Amino acid sequence: MTVDDIQRFLTIMGAIFAATQGIVEQLKARWPWLGKEEADPVKEEKRKTRVLLTSAVVAALLAGMAAVDVFAMLGINGVLAAFKAAHPTLYRLLNMVTVGLLSTFGSPFLHEILDILIEFKQHIRLRNQDAELKLLKLPSGDKDKA
């Protein structure tokens, strides 16, 4: 698995995670049984569980619509090649469930990884801007001549 494969995996999972969060927030706003916080701790835990399950289902549906093959992205497609050939529908369903679970229960991990990648990208951009500014500045002795 190369760095490009990891980056592609994180990008796709991050996009599914972000889309899932947006859709679930819309569902929570429309369905009180999903979005309204409960005063009773037991009822609140049940509501949070419903939100997690809804997130997993939405992420799985998004993965199915986008035909995301998470096993190929992780490099374990070769192990499952015979299963994929024999049972393509079941393979796709397993893919969707895996993406749903990774997106929902792996979201804190994915969120941290994406934050790290974004900060790294910003650091490189700032470093490149500083280098360009240094190249554009004239040395102090050249100011008088110009």
Length of the chain as a residue count: 146
Task: Tell me if 83 sits within 8 A of 91, measured CB to CB.
Answer: yes
Q: Which of 3, 2, 4, 13 is nearest to 69 (CA)?
A: 13
User: Which tens digit of pLDDT belongs to each residue from 106-146?
Assistant: 666 666 766 777 788 788 888 888 877 777 775 665 555 54
* C-beta of residue 104 within 8 angstroms of C-beta of residue 52: yes
* Whole-number Å distance between alpha carbons of 142 and 15: 50
% of residues, the chain, pLDDT over 70: 87
For residue 140, what pLDDT is reported?
Answer: 61
pLDDT above 60 for 56? yes
The reported pLDDT for the residue numbered 117 is: 72
The per-residue pLDDT for range 19-44, each reduced to its tens digit, is: 888 899 999 999 888 888 888 999 98
Residue 129 CA to residue 70 CA, distance in Å, equals 36
pLDDT reported for residue 146: 47
Domain residue ranges of the chain, discontinuous segments joined by + = 3-107
Do residues 62 and 96 lie in contact, with contact meaning Cβ atoms separated by under 8 Å?
no
Q: Determine the pLDDT at residue 109.
A: 67
pLDDT for the residue numbered 107: 60
- Residue 80's pLDDT is 83
